[in-house]
Structure 1
Amino acid sequence: MPDDDLDPVIHAPARLRVVATLVGLGRGDSISFPRLQQLLDMTAGNLSTHLRKLEEAEYVTITKTFEGRQPATFVALTETGRGAFERYSRRLRALLGDAS
């Protein structure tokens, strides 16, 4: 299986970490941007850049709201994103299995 079969949106290491973290949430669940940033130990700017790419691919949704008077941003994996991660994982396992 050639490497180009791996989804390039997910294959970037930082985006892979984001999606792998989000897939651990329940379907329909979201996580706050600051909590995701903390879990991944990423700067806000770096995380925002990668989330934008994932959002453009319709792999995540970003919801901006208010908690009291404070703005709050939440991130959730879409069903499209969940499916893409599952396909990516299968292809990666197949690629690694062929290498041994």
Structure 2
Amino acid sequence: MATFRFDTRVAQDPDRVWAVLTDVSLIRQWFPAVQEAHFDGTRRHLTTSDGTLNVLPDAGGSRVVYSQEILPETLAPIVERAVSEGIAGIARYFAAHM
């Protein structure tokens, strides 16, 4: 099993970051690998694999951390590229919109 952990720093309050990251209508703006996203009233559904997303306070801003376990490991390079782009997209989104 391959395990990934990516993180990025955003110069915004964690509550603001979390509000953007949980707004399903904005997901494609920061995570281009997502083909479709919807909210069923309880959960957010993406066409990509499940992972863990945390938003933590960090020196007057936030640190966004994403971790994921991948099986089979042969898919790891594909998932790694997609997730890496998504995390970089978070920083780009906040730099452009805040």
Q: If you compute each CA radius of gyration, which structure gives the higher value, 1 or 2? A: 1
* TM, length-normalised to structure 1: 0.33
Q: Which has the higher helix share?
A: 1
Q: Which has the higher strand share?
A: 2
* TM, length-normalised to structure 2: 0.34
